[in-house]
């Protein structure tokens, strides 16, 4: 229907259509699916979780207000161990899952590299693997028995077998390795997208001035990848603190020294295993606050909130 016929149509359908097509209303109509899904699947559950964190949840329709008692219960050894595990895991992921995908993206962005699309696919395929399937595979590879694959390889070079799932630092090494193997390809794609936006003229000018590949990387590529790096850093921090599947598939509950216990797994144990939804909600809200504070600090340190002149 043309714009003229749309204006001339005085039926109810025409009036509604003119209203939806107007410049003031159309943008809100287009973003309404996101707004509705945000309200239903994020805002409303978050507000309900905040409400439950101040109550003792007896049943779905019966709650008893207890104030801050659920939050005072957070000061226990299990929650502190979970925060410690998540923090160390996240720092290890930041130190590995930003430089490795960035360097891979730089190499695979070289147009002279033969078969670069094949290599891109090879690095991206692990991200399509379920964390449960990958976790089971790593559980077999890093088994505690001497004939497990990695312990067998250690035996070939004269080293003693390691109890991977019964010691803290070997367990942390497994979780980081699993995360790097699964997610490196995704972050590599993000960095490749960032590299595509860098003008080739900058590299050509630098090459004329005698800049070697390292100088071009540190003085052109790295600064211009700052927005992509900030985005990936935010994702790594978020994924690090919400990590659940890697721990759940590898360790049983109530491991000695809370080995493999993460914050989200602690939520699962308290809210669903022990049916203490109020305390589980308090843990979840605390986790949300931790992630938000860390992300605000990193955004501020990157100058995200600075006003441009």
Are the C-beta atoms of residues 195 and 116 closer than 8 Å to each other?
no
User: Would you list the DSSP string of 180-211?
Assistant: HHHHHHHHHHHHHHHHHTS-HHHHHHHHHTT-
* Arithmetic mean of pLDDT, 15-44: 78
Task: Provide the percentage of residues in the chain whose pLDDT is more than 90.
Answer: 27
Helix axes 226-241, 77-97, angle to 10 degrees: 150
Which residue did the predictor score with more confidence, 29 or 14? Answer: 29
Residue 59: pLDDT over 90: no
13: CB partners within 8 A, 6+ apart: none
Domains and CATH numbers, the chain: 3-53 (no CATH), 71-301 (1.10.3720.10)
Give residue 210's region: left, alpha or beta (phi > 0; psi -120 to 50).
Answer: left
- The pLDDT tens digits for 134-178 are 888 888 888 888 888 888 998 888 888 888 878 888 888 888 988
pTM of the predicted model, to two decimals?
Answer: 0.84
112 by Cβ neighbours in 10 Å (0-12 / 13-18 / 19+) ranks as: exposed
Q: Which two tokens stand for residue 204?
A: 């050509």
Tell me if residue 122 falls in helix, strand or coil: helix
Are the C-beta atoms of residues 257 and 168 closer than 8 Å to each other?
yes
């Amino acid at each position: 229907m043309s714009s003229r016929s749309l204006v001339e149509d005085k039926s109810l359908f025409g009036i509604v259509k003119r209203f939806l097509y107007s410049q003031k209303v159309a943008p809100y109509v287009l973003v309404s699916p996101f707004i509705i899904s945000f309200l239903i699947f994020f805002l409303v559950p978050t507000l309900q979780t905040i409400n439950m964190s101040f109550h003792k949840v007896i049943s779905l329709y019966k709650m008893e207000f207890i104030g801050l008692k659920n939050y005072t219960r957070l000061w226990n050894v299990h929650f502190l161990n979970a925060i410690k595990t998540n923090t160390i895991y996240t720092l290890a992921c930041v130190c590995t899952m930003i430089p490795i995908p960035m360097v891979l993206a730089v190499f695979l962005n070289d147009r002279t590299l033969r078969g670069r699309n094949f290599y891109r696919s090879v690095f991206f395929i692990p991200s399509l693997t379920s964390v449960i399937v990958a976790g089971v595979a790593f559980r077999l590879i890093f088994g505690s028995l001497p004939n497990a694959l990695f312990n067998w390889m250690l035996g070939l070079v004269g080293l003693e077998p390691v109890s991977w799932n019964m010691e803290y630092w070997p367990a942390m090494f497994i979780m980081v390795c699993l995360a790097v193997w699964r997610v490196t390809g995704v972050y590599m794609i993000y960095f490749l997208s960032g590299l595509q936006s860098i003008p080739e003229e900058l590299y050509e000018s630098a090459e004329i001035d005698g800049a070697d590949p390292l100088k071009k990387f540190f003085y052109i590529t790295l600064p211009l990848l700052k927005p992509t790096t900030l985005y990936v850093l935010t994702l790594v921090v978020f994924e690090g603190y919400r990590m659940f599947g890697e721990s759940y598939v590898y360790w049983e509950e109530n491991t000695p020294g809370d080995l493999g216990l993460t914050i989200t797994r602690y939520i699962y144990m308290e809210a669903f295993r022990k049916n203490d939804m109020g305390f589980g909600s308090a843990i979840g809200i605390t986790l949300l606050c931790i992630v938000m504070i860390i992300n605000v600090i990193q955004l501020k340190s990157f100058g995200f909130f600075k006003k441009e002149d």
